[in-house]
Structure 1
Amino acid sequence: MSRMDRLLHLDRTLDQLDPPAWGSPAADATHLVRKVHALRRVPLGQLGPADLRTLVSQQVALPYVLPLAVRLLLEEPLLDAYFYEGDLLLAAVNAPASAWARLPDLGARLCTLVSALPEPAVARLPTGATEELARFVRWADSLPSTR
């Protein structure tokens, strides 16, 4: 295990890192709620792209999940995590500003990545994606510690 992997706590679960543990969902919980509860018990190193997209979209333990998502996005910015090309990226840029404010260096790296995306690739993303990406870049560029 590399030093970076240890820093990302890849051998631990969100229930361990982000107390209190959630326990079991209610008997009548939706599929999504059951899935998120289950994902909190999976070691971070075993979470796949679709799992990360779900957790980021549901704003669960973002200080732990966003670094993992960005790590994947730096390798493949328009990764198709589950629904469509770029779904993980759009989930990440739509994370609350408060989450990114806690991770300014990571936000700056993602901003640089988003700014470098080729326009034809961005044009293939769902309606509204261009505006979401531009909004994230504007916000990240406004931070004193970025770039």
Structure 2
Amino acid sequence: MNQNIDEMKSLEQLEGIEWPAPPPNATGLVNAAHELRKLPVGSLNAHELSRLIGQDIGVPWLLPIALDLLHRTAHDRSLGAFYDDDLLTAALTRETHVWRSNPSWVTKMKEIIAILDDISPYVQEDIQKFLKENGGQK
């Protein structure tokens, strides 16, 4: 659990902003984002986190949670367990200013990257770009 974030609160509560209902012809992603914003952030799974973070929704609250999840499960990948590359990609591909605003997030991501092996070439490209923009090579 992230110590600085009340994971029992929803994004709506953390941000203090309640989005209006999506339009009737909204896409599945838009509808999902609206619904996910109402759930406690600590209850979101890797897929839900990656959907929101990938759309730059709630990043200041969700990225630390995602990094904690990625770090906890990184060691499992070397044991052949499932590892959520979608969440890793969503986190890695946030704009540089997001990472520069919180150097501890960069440090945590570099720790995660150092643990991982046998990474897909697509994710490897994202890792190299992240490292180039945030100092350091794998």
Fold-level match, TM-score > 0.5? yes
Deviation at 1:102, TM superposition (A): 2.1
Deviation at 1:5, TM superposition (A): 4.5
Q: Distance in 1 between matches of 2:65 and 2:3?
A: 12
AA matched with 1:140 = N
Q: Gaps (5+ residues) in structure 1?
A: 143-147
Point out the more displaced range, 109-118 or 7-16: 109-118
Q: Please give the per-residue CA displacement for 1:37-76, whole angstroms capped at 9, x wherever unaligned.
A: 0000001111111110111111101000100100100011
Q: Which position in structure 2 is the counterpart of 1:95?
A: 94
Q: With structure 2 as the length reference, what TM-score do the two structures score? A: 0.84
Deviation at 1:20, TM superposition (A): 2.2
Residue 63 of structure 1 pairs with residue 43 of structure 2: no
Q: Distance in 1 between matches of 2:23 and 2:106?
A: 35
AA matched with 1:136 = F
Residue 24 of structure 1 pairs with residue 18 of structure 2: no
Residue 43 of structure 1 pairs with residue 31 of structure 2: no
Q: Which position in structure 1 is the counterpart of 2:116?
A: 117
Q: Gaps (5+ residues) in structure 2?
A: none
Residue 133 of structure 1 pairs with residue 130 of structure 2: no
Equivalent residue of 1:128, what SS? helix
Task: State the structure with bigger RCO (CA 8 A, min sep 6), 1 or 2.
Answer: 2
Equivalent residue of 2:135, what SS? helix
The runs of at least 4 aligned residues of structure 1 exceeding 4 Å deviation read: 78-81
CA RMSD for the aligned pairs? Answer: 2.0
Deviation at 1:28, TM superposition (A): 0.9
Q: Which position in structure 1 is the counterpart of 2:30?
A: 33
Q: With structure 1 as the length reference, what TM-score do the two structures score? A: 0.79
Structure 1 residues 132 and 25: CA distance shift in structure 2, 3 A: same
Say if 1:111 and 1:136, in contact at 8 Å, map to a contact too: no
Deviation at 1:131, TM superposition (A): 1.5
The alignment of Structure 1 onto Structure 2 pairs a total of residues equal to 131
